[in-house]
Amino acid sequence: MTTPPTTFSGYGLGLRREHYRDFLDTDVPVDFVEVISENFMVDGGQPLHILRQVRERHPVILHGVSMSIGSADGLDRDYLLRLRALADAIDPLYVSDHLSWSRVAGFSSHDLLPVPYTEEALDMVCHNIDMAQGILDRAMLFENPSSYVAFDGATLHEWEFLAEMSKRTGCGLLLDVNNVYVSASNHGFDAHAFLRGIPAERVRQIHLAGHTQGPGILIDTHDQPVCDDVWALYATAVDLLGPVATMIERDDDIPPLADLLDELAIARGIGQRKQEAA
C-alpha cells in the first residue's frame, strides 16, 4: 500500500498571478507556496518558467481542482499523465486534490460536487485514488470540500469516510478548516467532532480561507479574510494535529501580499503558542 507523504511543518501562501513579481523580486517570508495544478498543465496557461523560478526559492505544493476523484466514470488518464509530467518537472512537496467530482460523460461542471458518504462511493473513490497514485508514483493529499447539500442515503459521517479512505489507500489528508466550518454550519454537525474524527497522523496540510454569508447558507468563496470563528477552530486543530504545513488560500478579491502575510502571521502565532504550551 502507498505510504503517506512525509510531514512538513511550515507556513505558506497560495501563489497567485498578482504576486508573481513579489516572489521573483523580493524575499517573501514563507516556508512554501501552493499553486493550482491545472494553471500550468494547459497550452496558454500560466508560464511554467515562473513556477520553476519560484521553486528555486521555495518548496511548491501542486493543488488540483479537476481530478474528479469521486467520478463514477473513472479518471481521465491523459489528465493524470500531464499532472505526472508537471510533478516530475517541479518536484513538489505534495500533490493534492479534493474529495469531490466534477466530470460525467466527458462533461466538466467546473465545480467541486459532493460525494455521497456511502460504502459504495467509498469503494469507488478508493479505486480511483489507487489509480491516481499509481500513475503519479506518489502518495497524494485529498481535501475535505465545502458542501451545500447532503445525501439522504449516507451511511458514514464525512470524517469517517475520510479516515477509511486514507486507511485503505495510504493517501494523506488536507484539512481545510474553513470548509469544516462552512459545512458544519450548513448541515448542522459539530465541527469539533469532525476534527476529533479524522486521523491526525494522516493530515499533512491545513488550508485557511474566508467565506461569505449566502441566503441561508455559508458559501466557500475564498474572497474574504479568515474569520474569528475559523481562527478558533484552527487553534483546536493545531492542538489535535501538532505542527503541519499551514497556508492562507485566497482566490478572489486578492489583496496586496502584505495583507496575506499579516494573516499568515496570525497562523504562525497560534502555532507557536501551542508549541510553547505543549
Buried/exposed code over 142-159 (b: 16+ C-beta within 10 A; e: otherwise)? bbbbbbbebeeeeebebb
pLDDT computed for residue 248 by the predictor: 98
pLDDT computed for residue 3 by the predictor: 76
As to burial, measured by CB atoms within 10 angstroms (0-12 exposed, 13-18 middle, 19+ buried), residue 233 is buried
Which residues make beta-bridge pairs with 213? Answer: 218
pLDDT computed for residue 104 by the predictor: 65
Domain architecture of the chain: domains with CATH: 11-277 (3.20.20.150)
Residues with Cβ < 8 Å from 65, sequence gap 6 or more?
Answer: 36, 37, 38, 97, 98, 102, 112
pLDDT computed for residue 105 by the predictor: 58
d(CA 207, CA 14): 10
Residue type, 139: A
Q: Write the pLDDT tens digit of every residue in 62-110.
A: 999 999 999 999 999 999 999 999 999 999 999 999 999 886 656 565 6
Residues of the chain with pLDDT under 50: none
Written as one string, the DSSP assignment of the chain is -PPPPPP---EEEE--GGGHHHHHHS----SEEEEEGGGGSSTTSS-HHHHHHHHTTS-EEEE-S---TT-TT---HHHHHHHHHHHHHH--SEEEEES-EEEETTEEEEEEEPPP-SHHHHHHHHHHHHHHHHHHTS--EEEPPP-S---TT--S-HHHHHHHHHHHH--EEEEEHHHHHHHHHHHT--HHHHHHHS-GGGEEEEEE---EE-SSSEE--S-SPPPHHHHHHHHHHHHHH-S-EEEE---SS---HHHHHHHHHHHHHHHHHHHHH-
- How long is the chain? 278
pLDDT computed for residue 108 by the predictor: 64
Other Cβ atoms less than 10 A from the Cβ of 26: the count is 10
Q: Strand pairing of 11-14 and 245-248? A: parallel
d(CA 190, CA 259): 31
Report the half-sphere exposure of 232 (CA within 13 A, side-chain side).
6
pLDDT computed for residue 213 by the predictor: 94
Q: Write the pLDDT tens digit of every residue in 92-101.
A: 999 999 999 8
Q: Strand pairing of 60-63 and 107-113? A: unpaired
Indicate the pTM of the whole model: 0.95
